[in-house]
Amino acid sequence: MSINASWKRRTMLAFACGVAITATPLAAQVPPAPPVPGKIKSTRFTTGAAKKNKPVVSTRTKEKVHQLVDRIYESEVELSVQQRHSKILKMKMDVFRVAIADPTKIEVVAFGAQEVEVIGKETGTTTMTLWLGEEANPQILSVQVKVEGDNSIEDLRRMEYGEFQRMINEFFPNSKVQLIPFADKLIVRGQARDEQEATQIITIIRARSGSGSGVGSGAVGAGSLFAEGEAADPFPDGAKLPEATVIDMMKVPGEKQVMLKVRIAQIDRSAARSASTDLIVNSGEFGFSQIFTGVAQQLAGGGTGLVTASLNSKHVDLFISALAQNGYAKILAEPNLVTISGRPANFISGGEFAVPTVVGVGGAQAATTTFKGFGTQLTFLPTVLDKDRIRLQVTPTFSTVNPALSVNGILGVDTQSVSTTVDLREGQVLAIAGLIQEQQRGDLNRVPFIGDIPLVGPLFSNKSVQRDETELIVLISPELVHPMEPEDAPTVLPGMEVTEPGDVDFFFMNNIEGKPDVHHRSTVWYMQKKRIHQQQKDYIHQTKSDKYYINGDYGFSD
């Protein structure tokens, strides 16, 4: 393919839009001319001398390339178009073919045979190739099109967000908000009066920007306290701006660490009474027996703690038993937790037991083990709303192991739990009381007719009464706290004054704790005792030497 002589002589194209695009002639079969500085030239594909650090091409490969490839066209000129704007290229020759590398960046519309309109769609860079002249002997022009952002849209965003910023500052006069649009992001800076106002501000901004969750700190943790909703559109004229991801950089002054003081008190009372009579009569071939409590168990010691009266003769055995029980259990727990506003905290004081779980079907079963906790457990989520007003979501739980509820060897648990959400001021106390449970049970077993006779009936019956009472109270108090300075930290901690007793205190004084100011160590006491004994010998020797020698500032003398 040859190159038209007129095309070789052309060095510049004039465009109807007023922007000049310079170009250098395409490379022909002759050696190319030196490139013009600052211009993109069209290069011929050549397999000549290899550049540095490039593999050397064999002679056979060079011949094959020369036979198959005539030349490679690169971008000769550069054209800039703004997004949602266009430029018209008026050519000197007819355009009969156009190719676009990335159609999402630009769109080309032809007006006649020599006019082409290039429309910018998305920001970026792509290549547009034009075939001009006659199809039998075409002229090829490669243009690199750069689509730039629309400055008018950016100016519109800044103007609209500036109006939106003034609107928010007017609605919330105690807060200072600054909106900074940047690319597809919206940075929210400033200071809010409290967490509640910060959350309301971010909710309105996110509803307008159409973003889900932003990135940053500030009032994001308190967003769950307010329902999601649609805010009024600050652009009622219908302008469709790109969606923006909100980056929350709002700051809220004040203490944000909350300490929750919880006191859990529970008392269980129980009472049980039972009375029964067992009678066995054997006379020759006649026999009669009435057994309620089990004579064999009581004779074997099964009635431990029972008051039993026995009347035993040759033919009559009489057992009378009675029992009265009273008991109580007292539980008091005082867990304290500290966490940041908007972040949950968990506490457990007790233990865990294994619960095996079988997963799978048929022969593909496998056993796994999970652990279930019991004891005193506490979960709370505080949020500082207005200075010292705290919204508190707290769930205290108290559980104990109950072997009577075991299933297939897995222990059961008696659980008492409370879950609530309240608003408290710092130092105020929430009392969850009135958790009272009463259970009463009575059983009566008797011999028909005889057991219903007054005074005589108790000898032919077995009766028991049991009553259980449980009362639980939970006291909760939040406080705003801050870390202590090193000099304010306590120097004496629990257990630091407990020491090991010496041999005299342990063996002769019967003490298991030593004196707070005497640190005895039984692990090295044997060596220490020998060292003390040697020091005592040296002291005695020195005292004796003083009788024969006098020492002073100038040495020793007789």
pLDDT tier at 100, thresholds 50, 70, 90: very high
384, 401: one domain: yes
pLDDT tier at 312, thresholds 50, 70, 90: low
pLDDT tier at 216, thresholds 50, 70, 90: very low
Question: What local confidence, expressed as pLDDT, does residue 202 receive?
Answer: 87
* Mean of pLDDT over the chain: 75
Residue pLDDT, tens place only, 499-551: 999 888 999 999 999 988 888 888 888 888 888 888 888 888 877 777 666 66
Question: What local confidence, expressed as pLDDT, does residue 215 receive?
Answer: 41
- Is 455 part of any domain? no
372, 439: one domain: yes
Residue type, 444: L
Question: What local confidence, expressed as pLDDT, does residue 398 receive?
Answer: 80
Q: Comparing C-alpha atoms, which of 19, 16, 41 is closest to residue 148?
A: 19
Q: Look at residue 162 and give its three-state secondary structure.
A: helix
Which two structure tokens, joined as six digits, stand for 270? 């129980």
- Is 20 part of any domain? no
Residue pLDDT, tens place only, 257-295: 888 888 888 888 899 888 887 777 777 667 767 777 644
Burial of 81 (0-12, 13-18, 19+ CB in 10 A): buried
> What residues are paired with 395 via a beta bridge?
379
Q: How many CB atoms neighbour CB 522 within 10 A?
A: 11
**What is the rounded (10 degree) CA torsion for 443, 446, 449, 455?**
-90
81, 179: one domain: no
- Is 159 part of any domain? yes
430, 469: one domain: yes
Which two structure tokens, joined as six digits, stand for 516? 């707070």
More confident residue, 164 or 255: 164
Question: What local confidence, expressed as pLDDT, does residue 128 receive?
Answer: 92
Question: Can you tell me the distance from the alpha carbon of 493 to that of 498, in angstroms, rounded to the nearest whole number?
Answer: 10
Q: Quickly list DSSP for 482-502.
A: -PPPGGGS-SS-TTTT-----
Residue 312 near residue 318, CB atoms below 8 Å: yes
489, 549: one domain: yes
439, 518: one domain: no
Residue 375 near residue 414, CB atoms below 8 Å: no
The CATH number that applies at residue 95 is: 2.60.40.1080
Of the residues 198, 220, 251, which one is the last residue of a structural domain?
251
430, 343: one domain: yes
Residue 522 near residue 531, CB atoms below 8 Å: no
> What residues are paired with 399 via a beta bridge?
375, 415
- Is 109 part of any domain? yes
184, 128: one domain: no
Q: Quickly list DSSP for 208-245.
A: HHT-S--EESSSGGGGGGS---PPPPS-TT---PPP-E
Of the residues 423, 454, 480, which one is the last residue of a structural domain?
480
State yes or no: pLDDT of 307 exceeds 70.
no
Question: What local confidence, expressed as pLDDT, does residue 298 receive?
Answer: 37
Question: Can you tell me the distance from the alpha carbon of 285 to that of 186, in angstroms, rounded to the nearest whole number?
Answer: 105
Residues spanned by the domain of 437: 329-357+366-443+462-480
More confident residue, 198 or 296: 198
Instruction: Say which residues have a Cβ less than 8 Å from residue 391's Cβ, sequence separation at least 6.
Output: 225, 382, 383, 385, 421, 422, 423
- Is 282 part of any domain? no
Residue pLDDT, tens place only, 16-55: 333 333 333 333 333 444 444 433 333 333 444 444 555 6
Question: What local confidence, expressed as pLDDT, does residue 126 receive?
Answer: 93
More confident residue, 277 or 393: 393
Of the residues 223, 251, 279, which one is the last residue of a structural domain?
251
Domain total of the chain: 4
Q: Looking at the chain, how many residues does it have?
A: 558
The CATH number that applies at residue 180 is: 3.30.70
Question: What local confidence, expressed as pLDDT, does residue 119 receive?
Answer: 92
- Is 63 part of any domain? no
157, 188: one domain: yes
pLDDT tier at 554, thresholds 50, 70, 90: low
Q: Distance between alpha carbon 467 and the CA centroid of its chain, in Å?
A: 46
Q: Look at residue 9 and give its three-state secondary structure.
A: helix
3-state secondary structure 250-317: EECCCCCEEEEEEEEEEEEEEEEEEEEEEEEEEECCEEEEECCCCHHHHHCCCCCCCEEEEEECCCEE
Q: List the strands of the sheet with 106-111, edge to edge.
A: 86-90, 115-120, 106-111
Question: Can you tell me the distance from the alpha carbon of 423 to that of 31, in angstroms, rounded to the nearest whole number?
Answer: 86
DSSP state of 155: H
C-alpha distances in Å from residue 469, one per residue of 267, 271, 435? 8, 9, 11
474, 546: one domain: no
- Is 280 part of any domain? no
391, 372: one domain: yes
Which two structure tokens, joined as six digits, stand for 128? 């547009």
Hey, CA dihedral for 361, 362, 366, 369, is it positive or negative? positive
pLDDT tier at 125, thresholds 50, 70, 90: very high
Q: Comparing C-alpha atoms, which of 22, 26, 67, 23 is closest to residue 44?
A: 26
Question: What local confidence, expressed as pLDDT, does residue 541 receive?
Answer: 81
Place of tokens 């009392």: 431
Which two structure tokens, joined as six digits, stand for 64? 């094959």
More confident residue, 69 or 361: 69
Question: What local confidence, expressed as pLDDT, does residue 198 receive?
Answer: 84
Rounded to 5 degrees, φ, ψ at 194 are -155, 180
**What mean pLDDT is predicted for residues 111-133?**
90
Place of tokens 């007719």: 449
Which two structure tokens, joined as six digits, stand for 450? 């005889």
82, 178: one domain: no
C-alpha distances in Å from residue 110, one per residue of 15, 118, 270? 15, 9, 97
- Is 30 part of any domain? no
